[in-house]
Amino acid sequence: MNRQDYLDRTQEQMPLARWEHTLRVVETAAILARRFDVDKEKVDTAAILHDFCKFWTAEELIFAIKQYKLPQDLLLYNQELWHGPVASVVATKELGIQDQDIKNAIFYHTTGKPNMGLVEKVVFLADYIEPARKMPGVEAVRLLAQNSLDEAIVLSLKQTIQFLISCGQRVYPLTYDTLRDLAKHENDI
Ligand SMILES: [Fe+2]
Ligand SMILES: [Fe+2]
């Protein structure tokens, strides 16, 4: 499969609005990859595929989480967290993605994880700051992303956690772990 196959297969999976989001993430991720000297091809492939399963039904995602033996505790948390891990496995099984950096970037693009690699960080951040994102505080994250992937991700995580708490939603533990991991260097939690 080549890049055009990944684009075509992804576009088939989703409505126009999410497809346009995907293209903005691809563009934003390319800018970040250039800025921070990260592997462009891996970033490109992961960004194209990151939301591959975003529009699968809850039943399909639950079935996949069980069948592929993904972390079962995902099922205790918001459905929003399910599509990344499932897409990572689907990308391997259906699209032949073998590269661990790409798989991780897809898997963890919603939660983050401790010790994220550069490809993971770029895709995570691009998904948060792509130009159509309007959530409060996103502009401050875009500014930090001019100079530091880690500082930008730390702020995005804090804002996500605050948002989830304000909505009365539970925060997936891995998201706290990611914040602790990245913030430990800057005394910043
Ligand atoms: Fe997503
Ligand atoms: Fe996304």
33, amino acid identity:
A
Distance 13 CA to ligand 2 centre (A): 13
145 in a structural domain: no
Dihedral class, residue 70 (left if φ above 0, else alpha if ψ from -120 to 50, else beta): beta
Q: Report DSSP state, residue 111.
A: T
For ligand 1, a single-atom ion, the residues with CB < 5 A are 51
Q: What is the pLDDT of residue 185?
A: 61
80 in a structural domain: yes
CATH number of the domain that residue 37 is part of: 1.10.3210.10
CA 90 to chain centre: 15
Ligand nearest to the CA of 125: 2
* CB neighbour list of residue 165: distance below 8 Å, 6 or more residues apart: 171
Distance 69 CA to ligand 2 centre (A): 23
Angle between helices 3-12 and 83-95 (to 10 degrees): 130
Q: What is the pLDDT of residue 186?
A: 57
For ligand 2, a single-atom ion, the residues with CB < 5 A are 51, 127
CA distance 107 to 136: 25
CA distance 161 to 157: 6
Longest alpha-carbon distance in the chain = 44
Ligand nearest to the CA of 129: 2
Counting the structural domains of the chain, the total is 1
Residue 171 tokens, joined = 């925060």
Q: What is the pTM assigned to this prediction?
A: 0.96
3-state secondary structure of 77: coil
87 in a structural domain: yes
Q: What is the pLDDT of residue 43?
A: 98
Q: Which domain holds residue 68?
A: 3-135
Torsion angle of the four alpha carbons 164, 178, 87, 75, in this order, in degrees rounded to the nearest 10 = -50
115 in a structural domain: yes
Q: What is the pLDDT along the chain (189 residues), one digit of tens a residue?
A: 999 999 999 999 999 999 999 999 999 999 999 999 999 999 999 999 999 999 999 999 999 999 999 999 999 999 999 999 999 999 999 999 999 999 999 999 999 999 999 999 999 999 999 999 999 999 999 999 999 999 999 999 999 999 999 999 999 999 999 999 999 665 555
Q: What is the pLDDT of residue 93?
A: 97
101 in a structural domain: yes
